[in-house]
Amino acid sequence: MLSATTGTQALCQSLVAAVDHAVVNNGTCLMAFYEESPPDILHHSMDPGTARHYLDRYLAGPYLLDPLYQLAIRTRKATACRFRDAIPDRFRSSEYYRQYYERTHLRDEMDFLVPAGPKAKLVLVVGRFHRRFSKNELRRMESIEAIIFSTMAQIWEAERGMSQANSRDGRLHRRLAQCLADFGAATLTRRERQIAQLLLRGHSAKSVARELRIAPGTVMVHKRNLFAKLSITSQYELFSLFINELSNT
């Protein structure tokens, strides 16, 4: 985990102040996502206990199942989105949600995404624990998007050297990503592994069918087969198997 250098602390504090002025929130987190290495935490305004639970555990591997990580990697232009509007249709029924995201106690989340290079994306998370953002609050955040995007870009420029330090962690990310890609490789077919990965990320059978452009009924057949091959009966057991493999990586 990286922290902003002294030279960028003022920029980070200005970013947090702009968000705080626009909406009441329970914490912000500025992250850098990479295609070939684990995320970096550039700055956050959370208390130490929350940061330990939300960030340290996240960097240990669960980020690979995070819809925000997947969205950021695909992002090609600066954009803002509400997390609840960007997640797979069965995300809240997924074991990633139950075992990790739900325990962060986030009730609502607004995310600002900025491309920072061909293989790096910056993401600012604005979280709320006790109630959802109102339409007026969402409009206020929308009104300062340009300021947020510009400040995020300035922070990246000031911290550009950190990408070189991050490259040392590339092998860890590759091992974690390969663990997900190869999950069940000893017993599952390629299609069954694809479906298992999407199920782990919170997709329903219909959503998996859309992603893979196959019939929902075909997905259900593959799901039954992969559950049988792995000797499991639920997505909780699927998640547990994956976490066990991840822990051994």
Q: For residues 46 and 122, which has the higher predicted lDDT (pLDDT)? A: 122
- End-of-domain residue from the set 139, 166, 193: 166
32 contacts 39 by C-beta, under 8 angstroms: yes
Are 148 and 212 in the same domain?
Answer: no
Mean pLDDT of the chain: 88
- Give the pLDDT score at 7: 60
Mean pLDDT of 216-226: 96
pLDDT at residue number 161 = 53
Instruction: Please tell me the predicted confidence (pLDDT) of residue 165.
Output: 46
What is the pLDDT at residue 1?
44
Q: Report yes or no on 176 lying in a domain.
A: no
**Are both 150 and 188 inside the same structural domain?**
no
> Is 110 in the same domain as 191?
no
Q: Are 222 and 191 in contact (CB under 8 A)?
A: yes
On whether both 14 and 131 belong to a single domain, the answer is yes
Indicate if 153 and 191 belong to the same structural domain: no
What's the mean pLDDT in 187-193?
95
Per residue in 120-174, pLDDT (tens digit) is: 999 999 999 999 999 999 999 999 999 999 999 999 988 775 544 445 457 778 8
In the structure encoding, which two tokens stand for residue 64, read together?
């690979």
Domain co-membership, 76 together with 108: yes
Query: Does position 44 have pLDDT exceeding 50, yes or no?
Result: yes
Mean pLDDT, residues 79-84 taken together: 95
Mean local confidence (pLDDT), 16-44: 93
Q: Is there a domain that residue 91 lies in?
A: yes
Q: Are both 116 and 39 inside the same structural domain?
A: yes
Residues 6+ apart with CB under 8 A from 165: 2
Identify whether the C-beta of residue 111 lies closer than 8 Å to the C-beta of residue 83. Answer: yes
Mean pLDDT of 186-198: 95
Same domain, 210 and 239: yes
Percent of the chain past pLDDT 70, that is, above it, reads 92
Query: Looking at the 3D structure of the chain, how many domains does it have?
Result: 2
| DSSP character string of 19-58 | HHHH---SEEEEEEEESSS--EEEEE-S-HHHHIIIIIHH
Residue 198 sits in the same domain as residue 159? no
For residues 244 and 215, the model is more confident at 215
181 pLDDT above the threshold of 50:
yes
Asked whether the predicted pLDDT for residue 40 surpasses 70, the reply is: yes
CATH of the domain at 162: 3.30.450.80
Q: Could you tell me if 148 and 210 lie in one domain?
A: no
Asked if the structure places residue 64 within a domain, the reply is yes
pLDDT at position 249: 64
Residue 232 sits in which domain range? 182-247
Q: Given this model, what pLDDT does residue 174 score?
A: 81
The DSSP call for residue 129 is S
